[in-house]
A and B are shown apart, each in its own frame.
Chain A
């Protein structure tokens, strides 16, 4: 039951993200390159998240748990890597871009970078650890 609740909640979050993306794209008249990049990263993240949700659904349908001790440990590890990536991306990416291109990000840009980079690292670490076994 707990697993089913998590699946429903995750599906609702994915649907809301997709809906937000839809409104964002329909409200934007001219799409710039950085917006295409942003949307692409979000779509990749949503796709990977949908794969994780589908995997949980597949297990629950077979009568197996949505998550077990290995998946919980993987979640913690991937969360740790995502956290480290968030810290580094908040400092390293704006500084590097500033030094190389002389472009300064504002607070909103940095928040978006932190969310996207940490999300990306979390999902990739999760999938890597999941298929590696440890």
Chain B
């Protein structure tokens, strides 16, 4: 699963640590979500989308397996 987190973070001038603080997770969790190595829970995906002022559909690019 690809994400647009990095792109949107850059738009709002947020570091991984800033975003992690906003959504209440560790910085590494944001890093692994960005790299596509970790699939967040629906709640965390929603919180990240909210922090980046977007929707889950806009934030995550789902691909058929």
Residues of A within 8 A of B (CB): 59, 62-65, 67-71, 130, 132-134
With contacts defined as CB atoms under 8 Å apart, how many contacts are there between chain A and chain B in the complex?
A: 43
A-B contact sample (12 more), CB < 8 A, given A63-B21, A64-B17, A69-B25: A62-B27, A64-B21, A64-B26, A65-B25, A68-B25, A69-B41, A70-B28, A133-B32, A133-B38, A134-B32, A134-B37, A134-B38
A59 to B32, CA, bound (A): 16
Q: Please give me the residue from chain B that is nearest to A56 by CB atom.
A: B26
Residues of B within 8 A of A (CB): 17, 20-21, 24-29, 31-32, 35, 37-38, 40-41, 44
Picked from A62, A64, A69, the residue with its CB within 8 Å of the CB of B40 is: A69
Contacts of A65 in B (CB 8 A): 24-26
A3 to B13, CA, bound (A): 29
Give the 10 A-B residue pairs with the shortest CB-CB distance, closest first.
A133-B37, A133-B32, A68-B25, A70-B29, A133-B38, A68-B26, A64-B26, A68-B29, A59-B26, A69-B41
Main secondary structure on B side of the interface with A: helix
Contacts of B31 in A (CB 8 A): 133
A132 to B38, CA, bound (A): 9
Contacts of B40 in A (CB 8 A): 69
Picked from A69, A71, A133, the residue with its CB within 8 Å of the CB of B44 is: A69
A67 to B25, CA, bound (A): 7
Contacts of B25 in A (CB 8 A): 64-65, 68-70
Contacts of A132 in B (CB 8 A): 37
* Contacting pair B26 A71 (CB below 8 A): yes
21 chain-A/chain-B pairs, Cβ below 8 angstroms: A59-B27, A62-B17, A62-B27, A63-B21, A64-B17, A64-B21, A65-B24, A65-B26, A68-B26, A69-B40, A69-B41, A69-B44, A70-B25, A71-B26, A71-B29, A132-B37, A133-B37, A133-B38, A134-B32, A134-B37, A134-B38
